[in-house]
Amino acid sequence: MGRPRLDQRDPNEQLVQWQAQAGMSNAALARAVTKQAKAQGHSGIHPDESSVRRWRNGEVPRHPVPQLIADAISERAGISLSPTDLGLPDCSPAPQGTGLPWQPGTSVQALLHLTRSEVMRTHTRNSDSAAHVHKGSALLDPLHRWATATSSPMTAPVGRTGGQIGAADVEGIRAVTAMYRDVDNRHGGALSRKAVVAQLNDAVSLLNTCTYTEATGRELLSAVADLGSVAGWMSFDAGHHSSAQELFITSLHAATEAGDKALGAHILQCMARQMSHLERYEDALALVDLAQYGARRRLSPATASMLASLEARFQAILGNLTDSEAAAGRAEDAFTGIVPGNEPTHMTFFDTAELSATIGVAHQISARHSQGTDRTRRAEAGVRLIQQALEARPQHRVRSKAFDHLALARTHLTVGELEGAHQETIHALELFGTINSRRVGDRLTELHDEALPYATSAPAIDLRERIAHAVM
């Protein structure tokens, strides 16, 4: 009645967790599958407790049993599940990945699939999740169609029983999104990641089951896409890179279906930051270019400034120092056009501090590519801008402050100012102790490695020991 899984029958944790969620014993699940088989006209399917134990241990039952299992657990759990959600093969799995079709209606079903899977995923064996993200042409080629993709009709089908959705419901989702953004800034993404994914699942369910007008439906889908971007960002911060990328891509589709190109550009810059973190710098720059081009008629001054500042940073990493300086100039020029209150809510994070920090880091990186007085000049500019960022940061932007201190430490290290690097590292570690962010931990590890050439110096020795104790 089944065959071994190709991965040598590792336990099917998704099935185990959903079975527990539904409150079904092995015997109960076996009886329910038998009942489903009889109701659907499948003869000869009579699993018992030992059959369920084998499924839990990784055996893959033959068609149509995976769908029967999904139907049985769905009925008990009160939620529509696919075999894929249960770690089983599905002849027609939900669309996923960077190649999700740019067609109306795809994002809602894909988001439902992603959020159901994410709520139950333990990630205990996903330490290599970064290896599974899409990169290069596999990522970028399908996304190029975003620039010309258009919105779709948003009138809900007749006959839905979930009630009528109005503007107040949309505002409720936006308020929840703002709350989770604040939690992420204060504490990092790891603590609340599953909570925001569960909230996203509830919000997407409204799109799938309720009725609404064309205008409300479009606003609702845009709000869901923004919430999805926060879920992706928290997953990225927690180090769950493949999950983060799936959430970003599907949220990008939802924003596109809603006709919100500005939000799409924001999601693309989130993806660019993730690619940069994974040292895929050319991919990061390409994503920024795509955001600038695809939303060129919808870019607010803050969004234009943010994208140009990121371009400056990525150009510096790639050693294109002249292009980096030109992009930094465009970022500063665009920033002067910001009118308070006129920016979309997802851009509230991009303030004077964020601009100064991003361009300051670009100078710091450029200094590492330079020599002599040019290196000193760039490093001094970086220190000045990052210090300005620290002074302007709101108190609740704890993780950003940690990144600022780390950027200062790395800038001091670039020009051999070990005492300054040591002091800023202490500040960064103090903040790191109050948040849960894998990204900050990764940056500390990079600083630890960069200090190796100075390992005979007392400040560098202590710096490396403190980081090793906190992170490694």
Per-residue confidence (pLDDT) for residue 44, from 0 to 100: 82
Residue 239 located in a structural domain: yes
- Domain with residue 465: its CATH number is 1.25.40.10
Residue 334 located in a structural domain: no
Residue 231 located in a structural domain: yes
3-state secondary structure of 97: coil
Instruction: State the alpha helices, DSSP H only, in 83-213.
Output: 106-120, 136-143, 167-187, 193-209
E strand or H helix that includes residue 30 = helix 26-39
Q: Are residues 141 and 20 in the same domain?
A: no
Whole-angstrom distance, CA of residue 43 vs CA of residue 72: 17
Q: Are residues 427 and 373 in the same domain?
A: yes
Averaged pLDDT for residues 364-390:
95
Residue 63 located in a structural domain: yes
Where among 205, 237, 259 does a domain terminate? Answer: 259
Do residues 69 and 52 touch, judged by C-beta distance below 8 A?
no
Per-residue confidence (pLDDT) for residue 8, from 0 to 100: 47
pLDDT above 80 (res 377): yes
Per-residue confidence (pLDDT) for residue 6, from 0 to 100: 38
- Residue 319 is classified by DSSP as T
Q: Which of 115, 217, 77, 219 is nearest to 157 (CA)?
A: 217
Q: Are residues 55 and 118 in the same domain?
A: no
Do residues 280 and 246 touch, judged by C-beta distance below 8 A?
no
Residue 86 located in a structural domain: no
Q: What number of CA atoms fall less than 13 Å from residue 109's CA on the CB side? A: 12
The CA-atom distances, in angstroms, between 245 and each of 144, 249, 251, 290 are 16, 6, 10, 16
Q: Are residues 237 and 112 in the same domain?
A: yes
Q: Are residues 12 and 114 in the same domain?
A: no
Q: Are residues 160 and 246 in the same domain?
A: yes
Region of 157 (left: φ > 0; alpha: ψ -120 to 50; beta: rest) is: beta
Q: Are residues 31 and 145 in the same domain?
A: no
Cβ atoms within 10 Å of 202's Cβ, excluding its own: 12
Token pair belonging to 442: 């990764």
Strand 60-61 with 2-3, pairing:
antiparallel
pTM for the model? 0.75
Per-residue confidence (pLDDT) for residue 410, from 0 to 100: 96
Q: Are residues 381 and 459 in the same domain?
A: yes
Residue 453 located in a structural domain: yes
Spell out the residues 6+ positions from residue 56 whose beta carbon is closer than 8 angstroms to its own: 11, 12, 15, 16, 19, 26
Give the range of the structural domain holding residue 184, as residue numbers without chain letter. Answer: 103-122+132-259
Residue 358 located in a structural domain: yes
3-state secondary structure of 2: strand
Whole-angstrom distance, CA of residue 197 vs CA of residue 279: 26
Q: What integer best gives the mean pLDDT of the chain?
A: 87
Whole-angstrom distance, CA of residue 126 vs CA of residue 206: 31
Helix-helix angle 321-335:352-368, to 10 degrees: 170
Whole-angstrom distance, CA of residue 30 vs CA of residue 24: 9
Q: Which residue(s) pair with 3 in the sheet?
A: 60
Q: Are residues 57 and 109 in the same domain?
A: no
Where among 259, 283, 310 does a domain terminate? Answer: 259
Instruction: State the alpha helices, DSSP H only, in 239-371.
Output: 241-257, 261-277, 281-294, 301-317, 321-335, 352-368
Per-residue confidence (pLDDT) for residue 202, from 0 to 100: 87
Q: Are residues 53 and 114 in the same domain?
A: no
Per-residue confidence (pLDDT) for residue 12, from 0 to 100: 85
Per-residue confidence (pLDDT) for residue 60, from 0 to 100: 87
The identity of residue 54, as a single letter, is R
Where among 227, 259, 291 does a domain terminate? Answer: 259
Confidence of residue 105 (pLDDT cuts 50, 70, 90): low
Q: Are residues 167 and 201 in the same domain?
A: yes
Per-residue confidence (pLDDT) for residue 91, from 0 to 100: 53
Segment 11-49, tens digit of pLDDT:
888 888 788 877 888 999 999 999 888 887 888 898 999
3-state secondary structure of 6: coil
Region of 49 (left: φ > 0; alpha: ψ -120 to 50; beta: rest) is: alpha
Per-residue confidence (pLDDT) for residue 191, from 0 to 100: 79
Whole-angstrom distance, CA of residue 429 vs CA of residue 464: 12
Counting the structural domains of the chain, the total is 3
Question: Counting every residue, how long is the chain?
Answer: 472
Q: Are residues 381 and 435 in the same domain?
A: yes
Segment 433-465, tens digit of pLDDT:
999 888 999 999 999 999 999 989 999 999 999
Q: Which of 209, 200, 202 is nearest to 228 (CA)?
A: 200
Averaged pLDDT for residues 323-334:
97
Residue 172 located in a structural domain: yes
Q: Which of 134, 110, 230 is nearest to 173 (CA)?
A: 230
Segment 191-201, tens digit of pLDDT:
788 889 888 98
Give just the sign of the alpha carbon dihedral 428, 279, 354, 231.
negative
Site of tokens 């008629």: 297
Whole-angstrom distance, CA of residue 428 vs CA of residue 327: 28
Q: Which of 149, 141, 342, 347 is nearest to 259 (CA)?
A: 149
Q: Which of 317, 303, 308 is nearest to 289 (CA)?
A: 308
